Amino acid sequence: MKMTKIIIIAFYMTALLMFSVTAHAAEYEIIDLGTLGGMVGIAYDINDNRQIVGWSYVDATNYQPFSYRTDRMKEIVVSGAEFAQTLAVNNLNQSAGWYNFDSSYSHAALYVNGNVTDLGTLGGNRSKASGINDLGQIVGYSETESGNRHAFLYEDGIMTDLGTLGGFFSEANAINNNGQVAGVSETITGEFHAFLYDGGKMTDLGTLGGILSEAYGINEHGQIVGYSETASGEFHAFLYESGTMTDLGTLGGAESYARAINNSGMIVGYSESASGTNHAFLYENGIMTDLGTLFGVKESRAFAINNHGQIAGWSDFYIAGWRHAVLWDPYTQFSSVR
């Protein structure tokens, strides 16, 4: 059963306790988008038209992609597929993801006005689309003929292998309107590093001191976010710009993960808090703010932010095992908090 409730989350006291310097933070309401009938709904992306895409269980065993607009979650029907997901949407309301076309294999897919286009593979059995820009260029990963997983760029009906950083594996997660692609690849030494693909060249973005990093989001200015292992072995959210990877810290716990960045430089993701639970965060002007959860329950995640500052993700629901797609919607600005 779909339930829609709105909870106002005020960050004034949180900011007051955490910061002794002047800070500016948005006040958000968290809106429950519900599900398609099952126990779980996950919002993965949001465009500037406030269209939200993701996937949801429709019953106890099957899940399908959805599009949420004008206060209504609508199933994207994929004929013959038990399982499918939408993971990205552009400002033309075109969305990308994957579907299973039989019991064993899944293919990257483009969803437009209820029609589903199979994007095929790089010669292997499986592929998945993770990002789409306003030019209709799509990125993700595909198995190759040899069975390796490689990042791809799909445009004009052609899927192109983007290669790797020297190893056997790569995966593209996001693409901006300049055609710059961000993702992760195995290096020649067997480590896994975030990459930027631009102008036909894949560049290793390095790490925060460890051996692992992954890029999830890129904006129109080429700013990239993701997570990296630190020298002490923890995973921290990062911002990469002008050749430098910056550690964004955490909400008080050990780890954090950045998933998206808009053109104003607002970053969202999730982080472990001091209590050990993971909460969605907004990082802006050097400050990481806890976005909270529905009903104050255990955990939440933020996966996307549009250029209006609206944030999409999921939150635990009040019934054990339920997770609902949610929208964090900004509606005012605080005055200075000291």
Q: How confident is the model at residue 11 (pLDDT cuts 50, 70, 90)?
A: very low
Q: Which residue has the higher pLDDT, 178 or 332?
A: 178
**Residue 78: predicted pLDDT:** 86
> Nearest 10 degrees: CA dihedral of 15, 255, 197, 309?
-20
Average pLDDT value for the chain: 89
Does residue 244 surpass a pLDDT of 60? yes
Does residue 183 surpass a pLDDT of 50? yes
**Residue 16: predicted pLDDT:** 25
Q: 206: burial class by Cβ within 10 Å (0-12, 13-18, 19+)?
A: middle
Q: How confident is the model at residue 122 (pLDDT cuts 50, 70, 90)?
A: very high
**Residue 128: predicted pLDDT:** 98
Residue ranges per structural domain of the chain: 6-30+77-289
Rounded to whole angstroms, the Cα distance separating 80 from 95 reads: 19
User: Residues 205-219: what's their mean pLDDT?
Assistant: 98
Does residue 258 surpass a pLDDT of 60? yes
Two tokens at 13?
Answer: 């006291």
Q: Which residues of 13-40 are buried (b: 16+ CB within 10 A; e: fewer)?
A: eebeebeeeebebbebebbbbbbbbbbb
Query: What would the pLDDT profile of 279-296 be if each residue is shown by its tens digit?
Result: 999 999 999 999 999 988
**Residue 103: predicted pLDDT:** 65
Two tokens at 5?
Answer: 């409730």
pTM metric for this prediction = 0.90
Contacts of 32 (CB under 8 A, 6+ apart): 3, 4, 5, 6, 7, 294, 315, 317, 324, 326
Contacts of 43 (CB under 8 A, 6+ apart): 33, 52, 53, 54, 68, 303, 304, 312, 313, 314, 325, 326, 327
Q: How confident is the model at residue 29 (pLDDT cuts 50, 70, 90)?
A: very high
**Residue 70: predicted pLDDT:** 82
**Residue 215: predicted pLDDT:** 99
**Residue 153: predicted pLDDT:** 98
Q: How confident is the model at residue 82 (pLDDT cuts 50, 70, 90)?
A: confident
Q: Say which range, 93-102, 175-184, 327-336, has the weakest mean pLDDT.
A: 327-336
User: Residues 85-105: what's their mean pLDDT?
Assistant: 91
Instruction: Report domain 6-30+77-289's class.
Output: mainly beta
Assess contact for 327 and 55: CB atoms under 8 A.
Answer: no
Does residue 329 surpass a pLDDT of 80? yes
φ and ψ of 179, to 5 deg: 80, 10
Does residue 137 surpass a pLDDT of 80? yes
Q: How confident is the model at residue 80 (pLDDT cuts 50, 70, 90)?
A: confident
User: Residues 71-77: what's their mean pLDDT?
Assistant: 91
